[in-house]
Each structure stands twice: as C-alpha cells, then as structure tokens.
Chain A
Amino acid sequence: MELTLGLVAGPGTSRANKTGTWRVERPLFLNIKCVACDLCIMLCPEGIIDSNNERYFADLNYCKGCGICAHECPVKDIMMVKEEK
C-alpha cells in the first residue's frame, strides 16, 4: 500500500487502523455474576463492547485496554488480565 500525498484518505480510517495493538491488559468477561446492566457497553470510550443472549465481549481489534469497564462493573464481573505472548 503506497502512502497518499499528505496521507489524504477516505472516511473510515479509524476502522482500518487496528488500535488494539496498543493494549497492555485485556478485559476478561467472567459472565458469572453479571446482572446485564449494560454499564460496560455504555461506558466503553471506544464503543466496542457488545453482548448477545449468552455473554458480553469486547472487539479486541480496537480495545485499548483502558479498564474502565472493569472499574465500573457494579458486580466486579470483569477482570483485566495482562496481554502476554
């Protein structure tokens, strides 16, 4: 991919840039005590937490590991765990 002059780009570049590589810790959704309050979804600054009928999950392509979800979870059902390779 060749860089464009002045890095001019069409819309959607924040989707193309996978900012998840910045992460040091990832949220681990335990899905044990969860009361389905959706606070984690609403407070995630990246808007990348979602849920289905079974569980909650984060899109790790973009999650920067800020830990707000874990901090705010009223029943402490989210743990931040170190990213280790």
Chain B
Amino acid sequence: MEKLWEGSRAIAETIKMCRPKVISAYPITPQTHIVESLSQLAADGDLVAEFINVESEHSAASVVLGASATGARTYTATTSQGLLLMLEVLYNIAGMRLPVVMTCANRAVSAPLSIWNDQQDSFTARDSGWIQLYAEDSQEACDLHLMAYRIAEDKRIMLPVMVCLDGFFISHTFEPVEPFEEENVKQFLPDYQPLHYLTPKNPLTFGSFAEPDKYTEARYIIHRTLEESKMVIRETAEDFKKVFGRGGGDLVEDYFLEDADFAFVAMGSIIGSLKDLVDKLREKGEKVGILKIISFRPFPGKEITTALEGIEKIAVLEKAVSLGSGGILVKEVKESFYGRKKTPQINGFIVGLGGRDIPQDSLENIYREFHQGSGDASFVDLNYELLGGK
C-alpha cells in the first residue's frame, strides 16, 4: 500500500532496505532530512549500520571511500557547497572503482548564497567518473537508489552512482510512494561481494601511483566502462520492472514524442511541470512531446538522437550554466546531432536558477516563441529592472 511520505523520508526508507553497512554524512539543507532519518533508524536499531558523524563533507566522502575499500556497502548524501567540498574525494572514489552510492539533493551554489534548488552542484561533478541519474519525483528517486546499488556493484561496472533529486521540490514534498518489500529488494539487490577489500591480513594500495605511461590507460578504462554502463543501466531497469512491476530508470524516457514536431528536453522535477503543459497543448491538438534524460553520465547521445528523430525544434531546459560558455546540457544534446545530414533546430534555455519558480506560462512562452519564431536561446524570465534596465 502506498505511503504518504516526505521525499527525504521515502529515500531514507529506501536506503534502509538497501542495507548499507556504513553511512557517513554532514547535514546540509536540503539534504538534512534524509540523513537525519537514517541516523534515527540506526540509533533505534532499525537499521544495522555504522552511522559515522563527521566534521565536514570532505570527511564524509573520505569515510565512505575508506569503508567501501574494506568491502562494506556505503551511503552518503549532500548538496551544493557540501558536494563541492567533496569533489576531490569524488574523483578518487571513481578512480579507485568503489561502488559508493550517494544522494545529491540538488541546490544552487554560492555566491550569492542560496539554499534553493537548481542543478549547478551535480553538473559541476559531471566529469568525476560518477554515474549520475536524475529523478523526476519521489517514487522515481526511490527506485533509482535501489537500481544505483545494483549498477554500482555490477562487476562489469564498479563505479560510484550519484542519484540527483531536486532539493525541496522532491526532498521536502509529500508524495504517495510505493514502499519496497524486503523480500523483493533482497532478490533484486543481494549483499555486496567486493572484488578486493582492505584487511590487515592482505595489505593493498587503492588507486596507486601511475606514471605517465599508465595514467591515460587508467582514465580511458573508466571512460570506456561508463560507456558500457549504458547497457547495464538498461538491463537493471528491465530487471527492476520484472521484480517491482513499474517502469522508469532507463537512460531516457519519452512522453508523446511519436508524432511530435516540437520537443522539450530536460532533467529532474521540471518534467512534471512540462507534462502538465504538454497535456494541455495536446488537448488543443499541438504536436509537442518531452524527452526526459535520466542518465546524464553516461550521456545517452545515441538514445537522444534516436528518440528525437524527425523532430524539427528542440528546446533544452536546464537549471545550470557554465559561466562564460552557456548552457551545458544543450551543448551535449547539440553535439549528439553533429555530423548528421538533417539536424533539428536546438535552443537552450536556462531556467529555475537558485529556486526561481518556473511557472507554466514561462514554459508555454518558450514553446510559443520558439515554435513560431526563432526564440532566442538564453536565460529565461530575466528581471531587467534588477539589471539597471538593460
């Protein structure tokens, strides 16, 4: 039976089912409720795990790195400044091929200080070697966490997975969620069997020194494995459907794309707002659809071009910006089409930075202007008064 849970609680209950042995985290808004719940579960004995309190996110990431190297299943969660503080360790976790799973409750990055949602934080970690999966709602966030452990611990992959969910929009919203049955979870996710693990009886070095004659190959292997992980993510999603009877979790997901001439491409909770808009536009007979990107790393270039085949105009919406360059997701979508005989018109729109609302009117404006005219790709809904009228 479905439960009405706050997103954070739903994720904590899912992590409990995944049976991590070591959890370490430092509280930071909007991730706090997740680790608060887990801390309580561990203190009450409802979750048999070591919950290690630390003085910073750098330490939290280091603790799960070390614990994972001893062969334990691990979990951490953070956001924003915390993720940036972890960044150095995140590269190490991926390089050492440790199957850590973490939640990023997406939040804007300082300065200016903002505790509200966008996706700048996890976008900044996109080159670290972690698999990054983005959730649309609480249910999908829960499902992706369970899949994340399976994907991370797959012997063909052995890479960390970051499940990204929009801070507040998912973490603090109460939604009905189908809880997991212990029996099904154990069938889907058996206990973790490490390939190598640290023990005093058998000393090992993880991520040992590589001279210039080996470093390139070590990095190439991670890149190649991420490419191969696309297949494993798809397999895992199919298996998930078999065991739990609900879908989602593939690399991308389409919504009314079949006969569409216009498509939105986006990630995360904004998909919900877009679906409402598309439903409304479809009622009026407009041929518009959505491509939801679930896996940002590995980047599903081929799956994107296949899903968007024949579509004339594509609006890529993203809650992040590479300052001095522009949209990040839009460039990768454009790159996927490069070299093809017929390429659609692709424009990028930067929306919802630092928690700014994305009302349906704004989304509809993007559609109208771009669908009928050129529609300048840019920051959406800028308040020119704040910019001195320019």
Contacting pair A7 B204 (CB below 8 A): no
Q: Which residues of B contact A21 (CB under 8 A)?
A: 211
Chain B, range 185-230, C-beta contacts under 8 Å to A: 195-196, 203-211, 214, 217-218, 221
Q: Which residues of A contact B221 (CB under 8 A)?
A: 3
Q: Is the interface of B mostly helix, strand, loop or mixed?
A: loop
Q: Provide the A1-45 mask, 1 if CB < 8 A to any CB of B, else 0.
A: 001011111110110010001000000000000000000000000
Among the 9-residue stretches B90-98, B106-114, B161-169, B372-380, the one with 4 or more Cβ atoms under 8 Å from chain A is: B90-98
B residues whose Cβ falls under 8 Å from a Cβ of A: 95-98, 158, 195-196, 203-211, 214, 217-218, 221
Q: What is the CB-to-nearest-CB distance from B200 to chain A, in angstroms, rounded to a whole number?
A: 12
Q: Which residues of B contact A11 (CB under 8 A)?
A: 203-205
Q: How large is the interface on A (under 10, 10 to 19, 20 to 34, 35 or more residues)?
A: 10 to 19
Q: What is the CB-to-nearest-CB distance from A44 to chain B, in angstroms, rounded to a whole number?
A: 20
Contacting pair A8 B209 (CB below 8 A): no
Q: Which residues of B contact A8 (CB under 8 A)?
A: 96-97, 196, 204-208
Contacting pair A6 B95 (CB below 8 A): yes
Contacting pair A3 B97 (CB below 8 A): no
Pick the contact of B97: A6, A9, A10 (CB < 8 A).
Answer: A6
Interface centre among A3, A6, A8, A14 (most CB of B within 10 A): A6
A-B CB contact pairs (8 Å), 21 listed? A3-B217, A5-B158, A6-B96, A6-B196, A6-B207, A7-B96, A7-B205, A8-B96, A8-B97, A8-B206, A8-B207, A8-B208, A9-B205, A9-B208, A10-B205, A11-B203, A11-B204, A11-B205, A13-B205, A17-B209, A21-B211
A residues whose Cβ falls under 8 Å from a Cβ of B: 3, 5-11, 13-14, 17, 21
Contacting pair B211 A17 (CB below 8 A): yes
Interface centre among B195, B204, B208, B209 (most CB of A within 10 A): B208
Contacting pair A6 B203 (CB below 8 A): no
Q: Which residues of A contact B217 (CB under 8 A)?
A: 3
- The CA of A13 and the CA of B209, in the complex, are separated in Å by 8
Contacting pair A3 B214 (CB below 8 A): yes
Interface centre among A3, A7, A13, A21 (most CB of B within 10 A): A7
Contacting pair A6 B206 (CB below 8 A): yes
Q: Which residues of B contact A17 (CB under 8 A)?
A: 209, 211
Contacting pair B205 A3 (CB below 8 A): no
Contacting pair B208 A13 (CB below 8 A): yes
- The CA of A10 and the CA of B202, in the complex, are separated in Å by 8
Q: What is the CB-to-nearest-CB distance from A69 to chain B, in angstroms, rounded to a whole number?
A: 24
- The CA of A22 and the CA of B208, in the complex, are separated in Å by 18
CB-based nearest A residue for B209 = A17
Q: Which residues of B contact A3 (CB under 8 A)?
A: 214, 217-218, 221
Q: Which residues of A contact B206 (CB under 8 A)?
A: 6-8
